[in-house]
Every structure is written in C-alpha cells, then in structure tokens.
C-alpha cells in the first residue's frame, strides 16, 4: 500500500494508513501525513469494474467540473494527481489505485436515523443533478453498457429462461407471468430516452445513503461520493433507485412479503428534497419520476430472477433461494406501487 501511495503527490509523508469505511466494492484506507493532511486511498475492484481507464476518466471529468463551480472544498470530491500527472495509478501487479482528499467533519450513515437523513440524501442527489445540468452527459463513457436499458434486461431474461441450466423455470410460473405481463410498460423510460423526450443527464447510479456525506455539525447534505458508476442517463434512474431502496418498508431480502410496501410518507419526503434541489425539472421529467420508482424496482426484480435462472452467477447469495426471495420481494414492491400509483403521480407532479 505504501508503495502505491508513493505514486501520488501528497502533502507531507504518510504516517498512517488504515482500512476505512464500510464500502463493499473497493478497498478503502484513511491515510494521514506528517503535514497534518488526511486522504482516502482506494484500490478499485477489478472484479466489479472492467474498464477502469474509462471509469476514472468519468470520475476525473465530473469532479473537475464540480470543483470549478464551487468555492467549498467539501462540496465535491478532489482527486490527487500522481507524480506523472495522471488521476490514478496502476501498480506492477495491475492493481488500480486513486487518492481523494479526505472530506473532514463529515458523516457517512449506513442507515437513516431520522426521516430528515433521507431528505438530506435526496437533496444531495438532486443537487448533484443540478450542479451537472450543463455538463455534456453524452461525453461520459458508458462504463456498464445498457445499465438501465430495461428492454435489454428483458432480453437477458428471455435468454436465461430459454437456457434454464438448472431446471429452475418450472417452479417460477407466477414470477414469469408477472414479468411478462409488464414487458410493454417496462420499456417506457427507454422509449422516452430514445425519442429524446427526456434530457440526458449525468446520473450517479448508486444512490445509497452511504454514498452521501453529511456535514457532521449541521447533518445537512455535503456531497455525494462513490462516483464509479457515473454515466449518462435519466433523472428518473437515480430518483427511482433511491425510492426502491430507501422508501421500502422492508429490506431487499425480507421473506415476509406482506411487510414489503412503499412508504408514501418517505416517498413524499424524498420528492420534496430531490425535486427542488434539481432546480427545475421539466413537466415530462416530473412525470417520469414515479415511472423511475416503478421500473427500477421491476428491473431489479427481473435481474434477481434472471440470476436465479442462471444459477446465481452475478449476485452473491447466502442460500440457494436468495435471488428468488429478492425477486419476489421486489415484485411485491412493484405491486404495491401499482396500487398506489395515482398518489405517487400526484405527489411527484405537485412538487414543481
């Protein structure tokens, strides 16, 4: 690790380097130097990311753009250059490293402690949309191709169903019917995107609470972190995935499906934090937000079901039926959103 650190232009000499945070993808260390500076060192996951040069180019472009537009150094991430002037370093074994300034006096929550924490995550991701509203989103690399292309996810499901390598399809009649009955509407966002009815935006694509830093004193949104999945997309993607994860009344793998519902109170709080922070979404975009919630949830359930058919090759599982439980859980959430659809639309459309 110390060797990798040598590659970067730090202020002072490193005096400590300890594992840090609760991230599940990269390996993260907190580094302190004898000049009293602190940094975040990360080794990027080569398993999760297949095009690290493109990924780091996205991160560099977005962080530089944000830094040029704010005076507050804690309002965005700052990459520390290497001695060669690059924004990341590949060591002799092919491992990829980067260094950020440590955002001091910040708080990273694993779970909300109050509803206001959820509002602040909405503000952080909405503000991210706003700050990048004029960024040329199409110039970003699509580091995970077709990430939220739901019709393409259906094609992957079709292929898994045809192959059915473990003979699991025969127990899945209800789930398969559920998915196929929604094929047409599942293409709504992709169609609007292709038609150009919705603006192409910079999306974060991993809008979990622990990818937001709050100010430790005020507990208000400071910045978003973990920009590894930043890509061109729709505002409905970030909004929708936040609702899928943050406004569900149960965990993603809760087996008591009667407990899985969308909490309209939390949904409304998120809308009221997100929409104003985005600073002017068009009428079409406002209408797309509840679709984002519904379709990100359907798509996620579809991916779990596809992986179950494929023999659990993508998502890690703790038991053989784990992906099936997750899929059923997400489908239950979709059904609850369908039942509450009119209200979800009213809340979004009245938020302008």
**In the complex, least distance from residue 293 CB atom to ligand ADP, rounded to whole angstroms:** 23
Which residue number, 179 or 223, has a Cβ lying nearer to ligand ADP? 223
Interface segment toward Mg ion; rule CB under 5 A; list 54-62, 93-101, 186-194, 206-214: 206-214
Closest to ligand ADP by CB, 21 vs 187, is 21
Report the 10 Å Cβ neighbour count for 18: 10
Selection from ligand ADP, Mg ion, none that 245 binds (CB < 5 to 8 A by kind) is none
Least distance in Å: CB of 206 to ligand ADP? Answer: 8
Q: At what angle do helices 322-339 and 341-349 cross, to 10 degrees?
A: 70
Choose the stretch contacting Mg ion; rule: CB under 5 A; options: 75-83, 208-216, 304-312, 322-330: 208-216
Which residue, 40 or 172, is less far from ligand ADP as judged by CB? 40
Question: Binds 130, which of ligand ADP, Mg ion, none (CB < 5 to 8 A, cut-off by type)?
Answer: none
Quick check: helix, strand or coil at residue 173? helix
Cβ closer to ligand ADP: 45 or 156?
45
Pair of tokens at residue 315: 């998502």
What is the closest distance, in whole angstroms, from the C-beta atom of residue 30 to ligand ADP in the complex? 8
Rounded Cα distance between 225 and 63, Å, is 10
- Give per-residue burial for 136-150: e unless 16+ CB within 10 Å, then b: ebeebbebbeebbbb
Contact with Mg ion (CB under 5 A): which of 82, 207, 211, 248?
Answer: 211
Least Å distance between CB 28 and Mg ion? 9
Smallest distance, ligand ADP to C-beta of residue 1, A: 15
Task: Specify the DSSP element, H or E, that contains 24.
Answer: none
Total binding residues for Mg ion by CB under 5 A? 3
Name the residue among 122, 263, 279 with its Cα closest to residue 201: 279
Nearest distance, CB of residue 50 and ligand ADP, angstroms: 15
Instruction: Tell me how far, at minimum, the Cβ of 22 lies from ligand ADP, in Å.
Output: 6
Residues in contact with ligand ADP by the rule CB under 6 A? 20-26, 28, 40, 77, 100, 102-103, 106, 108, 210-211, 225-226, 228
As measured in angstroms, the least distance from the Cβ of 287 to ligand ADP is 31
For residues 71-110, which are near Mg ion according to CB under 5 A? none
| Coil, strand or helix at 275 | helix
φ, ψ for residue 231, nearest 5 deg: -155, 170
What residues numbered 18-37 form the site for Mg ion, per CB under 5 A? 23
* Residues 147/246, Cβ–Cβ less than 8 Å: no
- From the list ligand ADP, Mg ion, none, pick the one residue 311 interacts with, judged by a Cβ distance below 5 to 8 Å according to partner type: none
Residue in the shown chain whose Cβ atom is closest to ligand ADP: 23
* DSSP 8-state code for residue 45: P
Q: Of the ranges 17-25, 147-155, 305-313, 314-322, which one interacts with Mg ion (CB under 5 A)?
A: 17-25
Residue closer to ligand ADP by CB (options 17, 25) is: 25
Q: What is d(CA 315, CA 329) in angstroms, rounded to the nearest whole number?
A: 15
Q: What gap in Å lies between CA 230 and CA 62, rounded to an integer?
A: 8
Q: Dihedrals φ, ψ of 12, to 5°?
A: 90, 175
Residue 30 CB contacts under 8 Å (≥ 6 apart), including other chains: 16, 17, 18, 20, 38, 39, 40, 41, 102
CA distance 316 to 244: 20
226: region left, alpha or beta (phi > 0 left; psi from -120 to 50 alpha): left
Give the interface with Mg ion as residue ranges (CB under 5 A). Answer: 23, 211, 226
């Amino acid at each position: 690790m110390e060797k990798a650190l040598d590659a970067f232009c730090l202020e002072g000499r490193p005096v400590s380097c300890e594992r840090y945070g609760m991230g599940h993808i990269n390996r993260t260390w907190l580094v302190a130097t004898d000049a009293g500076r602190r940094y975040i060192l990360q080794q990027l996951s080569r398993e999760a990311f297949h095009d690290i040069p493109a990924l780091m180019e996205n991160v560099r472009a977005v962080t530089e753009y944000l830094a040029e537009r704010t005076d507050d150094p804690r309002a965005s991430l700052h990459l520390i250059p290497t001695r060669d002037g690059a924004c990341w370093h590949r060591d002799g074994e092919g491992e990829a490293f980067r260094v950020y300034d440590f955002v001091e006096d910040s708080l990273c929550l694993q779970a909300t402690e109050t509803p206001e924490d959820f509002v602040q995550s909405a503000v952080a991701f909405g503000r991210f949309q706003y700050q990048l509203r004029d960024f040329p989103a199409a110039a970003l690399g699509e580091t995970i191709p077709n990430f939220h292309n739901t019709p393409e996810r259906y094609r992957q499901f079709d292929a898994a169903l045809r192959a059915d390598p473990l003979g699991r399809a025969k127990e899945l009649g209800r789930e398969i019917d559920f998915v196929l009955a929604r094929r047409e509407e599942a293409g709504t966002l992709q169609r609007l995107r292709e038609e150009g009815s919705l603006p192409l935006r910079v999306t974060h694509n991993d809008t979990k609470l622990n990818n937001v830093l709050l100010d430790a004193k005020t507990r208000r949104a400071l910045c978003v972190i973990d920009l590894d999945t930043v890509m061109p997309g729709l505002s409905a993607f970030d909004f929708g995935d936040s609702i899928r994860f943050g406004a569900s009344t149960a965990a993603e793998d809760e087996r008591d499906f009667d407990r899985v519902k969308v909490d309209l109170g939390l949904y409304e709080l998120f809308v009221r934090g997100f929409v104003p922070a985005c600073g002017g979404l068009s009428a079409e975009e406002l209408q797309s937000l509840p679709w984002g919630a519904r379709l990100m949830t359907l798509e996620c359930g579809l991916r779990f079901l596809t992986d179950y058919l494929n023999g659990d090759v993508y998502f890690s599982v703790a038991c053989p039926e784990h992906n099936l439980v997750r899929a059923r859980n997400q489908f239950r959430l979709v059904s609850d959103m369908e039942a509450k659809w009119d209200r979800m639309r009213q809340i979004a459309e009245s938020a302008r």
